[in-house]
Amino acid sequence: MSTTYARKTWDREGRRLGRGLMALPALILALVVFAPLVYSIVLALYNWQITQINQGKPFVGLQNFAKLFTDPKVLSAVGNTLLYVVGSVGVELVLGFIIAAALFELTKGRKLANSLILLPMIIAPVITALIWRYMFDPQFGLISQVLSFFGVKGGVDFLGSSQLALSSLMIVDIWQWTPFVILILHAGMLGISEEQFEAARIDGAGRVRILRSIVIPGIAPQILLVLLFRTMDTYRIFDTVYVLTRGGPGGATETIGLYTYQTGFSFFNMGYAMALSVFILVTIAIISTFYLRLLRRRSVFA
């Protein structure tokens, strides 16, 4: 009886201590994460032009949010962003899966291959963009120089043509972030038990069948995780576009992230920029919720 009482007291005190210890991190989290978020939502309700110093910030209610739905640039920027997300993430996933599967099959030099593959991911995105700027340059760039050996004279207009510019930006993203996909998927593949493969081989399954029936279902949570991270990242793309095209030519590569930056820091319309930021946040939250639900079904986060 006394033992049960002591245990209950211990549990109660433990819970109290736990709550007490959580208070400070919760407060820091609220200050660091939620306070700026709430502040940005509040600012989105004002017409705040940061260049009009002495004119205050008139309260405009939901006017900035209403403008989102009538601003043709938002529609065009969201369209470009979605194309960029689908193109980049789609190719990264397929390419990443193929390379991860090849690495999985590799018996020698896997560590070295892994290290080499990860190199692009280590480079800062702005530096990556600068490297590709000179790769894509139609006058002096490496790609145009190589193409000239095959008779393509005058260079290819990778970044100055509205037909090629967005695809060229996708290539940069694919080059830099496919290693991330490889890393995650390869780790997932290594987690599948060897017995499953042995059983499949004994049953006479070929490589394709093993991939389809064992590997893909086995790494489904990792695939969803990769999709979640890469979709969020590519939806917010800014640095590569800013360095390479500034949204041009003619708005062909203007993404919602770039438009938000320009609205705030080039056009100085901070209230509207905050509304755009909230819009990005909400859309990313919707997409993330979709992926997280799928992940929960896979019992990863259940």
Partner 1 sequence: MFATQHKRSWAVIAAVALSAGALMLTSCTSTAGGSAAGADPNAAPKSAGGPYGTFPGEKLTLSRWAGDPWTSGQTQAAKDWSSSTGGKLTLAAVPYENLHDKQALSLSSGSDYDIVYVHPSWFGEFAKAGYLAPIDKYLADPKRNPTGFSAASYLPNVLAQGKYNGTQYCLPDFVSTIVVGYRTDLFAAAGLAAPKTVSDVLADAAKLNSKGGTAGIVMPGKATGAVADVFGSLLTAQGNWWYNAAGTKNTLDSTAATNALDFYTSAAKYAPTGVLNMAVDDAATVAAQGKAAIVVDTTPSLSALEDPAKSSTVGKWGYVPLAFDASKPGGELIYWNWCISSNSKSKDAAYSFLQYYTDTAQQAKVALAAATLGATKSFYEDKAVTSKLPFLPAVNAALSNSNPQPSLASWPAIQNAIETSVQQAIQGSKTNAQAVTDMQTALAALGK
User: What residue ranges bind partner 1 (CB under 8 A)?
Assistant: 49-54, 137-140, 154-162, 165, 244-251, 262, 265-269
Q: What is the DSSP string of 97-132?
A: HHHHHHHHH--SSHHHHHHHHHHHHHS-HHHHHHHH
Q: Helix, strand, or coil here: 46?
A: strand
Please state, in angstroms and as integers, the Cα–Cα distance from residue 273 to each residue in 20, 46, 117, 258, following that order.
Answer: 39, 11, 37, 11
Task: Compute the least distance from the CB of residue 194 to partner 1, in Å.
Answer: 51
Residues 6+ apart with CB under 8 A from 90: none
Which tokens is 146 given?
């190589």
Residue 60 or 224: the one with the smaller Cβ distance to partner 1 is 60
Residue 260 or 262: the one with the smaller Cβ distance to partner 1 is 262
Residue 222 or 263: the one with the smaller Cβ distance to partner 1 is 263
User: What is the rounded CA–CA span in Å between residue 121 and residue 29?
Assistant: 29
Which tokens is 274 given?
């905050």
Task: Compute the least distance from the CB of residue 301 to partner 1, in Å.
Answer: 39
Task: Compute the least distance from the CB of residue 253 to partner 1, in Å.
Answer: 10
Q: Which helix (H) or strand (E) holds 167?
A: helix 165-190
User: What is the rounded CA–CA span in Å between residue 117 and residue 22?
Assistant: 40
Residue 106 or 147: the one with the smaller Cβ distance to partner 1 is 147
Task: Compute the least distance from the CB of residue 43 to partner 1, in Å.
Answer: 15
Residue 148 or 289: the one with the smaller Cβ distance to partner 1 is 148
Task: Compute the least distance from the CB of residue 51 to partner 1, in Å.
Answer: 4
